[in-house]
C-alpha cells in the first residue's frame, strides 16, 4: 500500500488530502472558525472544540502507553503539532475521523452522514498507512 502511494503521484496526493481532512491543525481551529462565522452556535462550537481536545488527550495518553515507533520505511515529518506525536500507535487522524464522523452522524440523526460515518474514517486510515505514517494496526 505504501509503495503504491509512493510511486503513484496522484494516489500519494490523494492520500495526503484525505489524511489532512482529519489533521489536528484543521480540527483545532475549525470549531472556533465555524462559531465565529455563525455556522455553529456558541454551545455547539464549544462542544465540538471540547470533543476535539478530548480525542487529542486520549490519543496522547495512548501514545505514551504504547510507545510504538513510526514505520522506518518512509521519511517521517520533523514537525508535530502536539509534543507526544512521535509514537505511531494509535493514529490520531484515524481516531479523530472516527469520532467526528460518529458525532456528526448522531447530531444529524443519520441520513447522508451515514456514508461519512462509514467511509471517511476508513479512507483516513488507508491514507495514513499509504503515506507510511502508521502501521495498519495503528489505525
Q: In the predicted model, is pLDDT for residue 85 greater than 80?
A: no
Confidence of residue 36 (pLDDT cuts 50, 70, 90): very high
pLDDT over 70 percentage in the chain: 73
Q: In the predicted model, is pLDDT for residue 1 greater than 60?
A: no
Ranking 39-48, 61-70, 75-84 by mean pLDDT, the lowest is 75-84
Cell 502511494 appears where?
5
Would you state the pLDDT for residue 25?
Answer: 84
Amino acid at each position: 500500500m505504501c509503495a503504491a502511494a509512493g510511486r503513484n503521484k496522484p494516489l500519494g496526493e490523494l492520500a495526503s488530502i484525505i489524511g489532512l481532512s482529519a489533521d489536528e491543525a484543521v480540527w483545532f481551529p475549525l470549531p472556533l472558525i465555524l462559531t465565529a462565522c455563525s455556522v455553529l452556535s456558541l454551545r455547539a462550537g464549544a462542544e465540538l472544540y471540547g470533543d476535539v481536545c478530548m480525542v487529542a488527550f486520549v490519543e496522547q495518553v495512548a501514545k505514551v502507553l504504547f510507545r510504538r515507533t513510526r514505520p522506518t520505511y518512509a521519511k517521517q515529518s520533523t514537525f508535530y503539532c502536539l509534543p507526544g506525536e512521535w509514537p505511531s500507535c494509535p493514529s490520531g487522524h484515524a481516531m479523530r475521523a472516527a469520532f467526528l464522523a460518529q458525532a456528526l452522524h448522531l447530531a444529524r440523526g443519520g441520513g447522508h452522514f451515514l456514508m461519512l460515518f462509514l467511509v471517511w474514517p476508513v479512507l483516513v486510515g488507508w491514507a495514513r498507512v499509504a503515506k507510511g505514517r502508521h502501521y495498519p494496526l495503528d489505525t
